[in-house]
Chain A
Amino acid sequence: KQEVTQIPAALSVPEGENLVLNCSFTDSAIYNLQWFRQDPGKGLTSLLLIQSSQREQTSGRLNASLDKSSGRSTLYIAASQPGDSATYLCAVQAGGAGNMLTFGGGTRLMVKP
């Protein structure tokens, strides 16, 4: 059974810092990996999706990498801002399109002004 772990569980940084969020998964037979953002009491916003054949994806100040063989992904946030404060969730999709996602426990990020 796939297990997804995110480290750290919580992170507090001053504004402007670059930071890295980590995600690891136990079964490397994945279809893709996604990073989501969730604001308190709200739904999910998809940030980046990496297909199993890709190594990384970039969107603005966000960069996500994927090392499928080692079961790891990182989300890099450059020049953090207070508006980046949220919970970041990593999720892997099982082999075969349309299958369920398995979510990590999330990293709660607080960026202080």
Chain B
Amino acid sequence: GAVVSQHPSWVICKSGTSVKIECRSLDFQATTMFWYRQFPKQSLMLMATSNEGSKATYEQGVEKDKFLINHASLTLSTLTVTSAHPEDSSFYICSARDRGANVLTFGAGSRLTVL
């Protein structure tokens, strides 16, 4: 079945640094990828939708200059948290849509801790 790989699965960084999270569709082409954020004991909230080759669409309240999303190929989308701060500590999950099917496949998530 369709597999989405996220890397890294967890990362700890110092405040002020930038962190990049990768989301790869391993065996299918993903025309659309979604990025979610989950704070402790809360549900997932959609951050942005990225379509291959175009700019991402951000949800209200999500700073596009802080959360840079690149979807340069049909199998890879990246989320870069720029100048991370402790309040950015969260669980980030991506999902990808197989262009050949009506299925969304989720990655395992990436836990970011900013000290």
A residues in contact (CB < 8 Å) with B? 31, 41-44, 46, 89, 93, 97-98, 100-106
Instruction: Report how many A-B pairs have Cβ atoms within 8 Å.
Output: 42
Residues of chain B from 18 to 61 with CB closer than 8 A to chain A in the complex:
31-32, 34, 36, 42-46, 49
A residues within 8 A CB of B107?
Answer: 43
B34/A100 in contact, CB under 8 A: yes
Closest to A108 in B: B41
Instruction: Say which residue of B45, B97, B106 sits within 8 Å of A43 (CB atoms).
Output: B106
Name the one of A41, A42, A93, A103 contacting B104, with C-beta atoms under 8 angstroms. Answer: A93
A103 and B34 within 8 A (CB): no
Tell me the minimal C-beta distance from B10 to chain A in angstroms.
9
Given A103-B43, A105-B42, also A44-B106 (CB < 8 A): yes
In the complex, the 8 A-B pairs of residues with the closest C-beta atoms, listed nearest first: A97-B102, A43-B108, A98-B97, A43-B109, A103-B44, A103-B43, A105-B43, A44-B106
Instruction: Please give the residue numbers on chain B whose beta carbons come within 8 Å of chain A beta carbons, in ascending order.
Output: 6, 31-32, 34, 36, 42-46, 49, 91, 93, 95, 97, 102, 104, 106-109, 111
Residue of B nearest to A89 (CB): B43
Instruction: Return chain B residues, CB-CB under 8 Å to A46.
Output: 106
Bound complex: CA of A72 vs CA of B46, how far in Å? 22
Q: A43-B108, A98-B32, A100-B34 are in contact. Are A89 and B44 (CB under 8 A)?
A: yes
CB pair A42 B108 closer than 8 Å: yes
